Amino acid sequence: MAHAPAIARTIATLDRAIGKFRAAGQSVALVPTMGALHAGHVALVRRACRKADRVVVSIFVNPAQFAPHEDFSSYPRPFDVDVAVLRDLDVDLVWAPTLDVMYPAGFATRVAVKGPAETDLEDRFRPHFFGGVATVVAKLFAQCRPDWAMFGEKDYQQLKTVTRMARDLDLKVEVVGVPTVREPDGLAMSSRNVYLDTRERAVAPTLHRVLGECAGRIAAGEPIARVVSEGSIAIEEAGFAIDYLEARHAESLVRVETRADGPLRLLVAARLGKTRLIDNVAV
């Protein structure tokens, strides 16, 4: 039976709740979010419910991962709606700290990440981003003490960065990648999809379609460089301003030249009007 999750807004309240779970010998899974929950988040929560005895969902719009020109102030924050969604999913606890709880006066520490975070993909366009993500995620891991943490594959570079950080810092949490949830036409679900107007929404699935075509051609043995070049042209001709379309090693995200260079992942980022979309597929 569905039940309303408890809501913690202070470290003391969170500690008490997590302490009770641990005292009972129960495992904990964490789903970090910035709210504005959609079906992609629901998939993360359902995976968490299958993994652990207790599920914690954090809701915190993290200013450290927004650049000055990005949409921090306008980022959607429908907290009551989000809690209603989580009630139907049998989430046990919502961790919803305020800004001054997460970053109190005098806060002066930041996690510096390299490896997958410095591969000339998202970091080329958002150099501040992964340091901000790593800092808040490290705090969430320390605060919630989860056995598992769920991250979507849509933000693939983020997934690999957080996985590497948890391993490097011995954080004793297993980062679990959950497949991207898509609309029926293939568009990856994202909180930012609401910014697309009607015409743009009709064009947006082109990203996933081209990725799939490129992955099939590479798997069939066509040269990566040619496939990626022609895929980029197809995306631009559809009306996007492309930031990148790249084939990378699926774990390290280093550049590859042939299929023999290891498991491959195709990653894309492109702007459609005022909205920036990202996506990726395995080859």
Percent of the chain whose predicted confidence (pLDDT) is above 90 = 90
pLDDT at 188 (0 to 100) = 96
pLDDT at 2 (0 to 100) = 66
Q: What are the C-alpha distances in Å from 249 to residues 120, 124, 231, 264?
A: 13, 17, 18, 5
**Distance (Å, whole) CA 122 – CA 163:** 16
Mean pLDDT of 200-221: 98
pLDDT at 191 (0 to 100) = 81
pLDDT tens per residue across span 50-103: 999 999 999 999 999 987 777 788 787 899 999 999 999 989 999 999 999 999
What percent of the residues of the chain are helix, what percent strand, and what percent coil, each to the nearest 5? 40, 20, 35
| DSSP-H helix ranges across 52-105 | 79-87, 99-102
Name the 3-class secondary structure at 5: coil
Q: Is the dihedral of CA 281, 215, 255, 272 positive or negative?
A: negative
What predicted TM-score, i.e. pTM, was given to this entire model?
Answer: 0.95
Kindly tell me if the per-residue pLDDT of 1 is higher than 90.
no
Name the 3-class secondary structure at 152: strand
pLDDT tens per residue across span 149-169: 999 999 999 999 999 999 999
pLDDT at 73 (0 to 100) = 82
pLDDT at 68 (0 to 100) = 76
Kindly tell me if the per-residue pLDDT of 281 is higher than 70.
yes
Query: What residues are labeled active site?
Result: 41
Residues paired with 241 in a beta bridge: 271
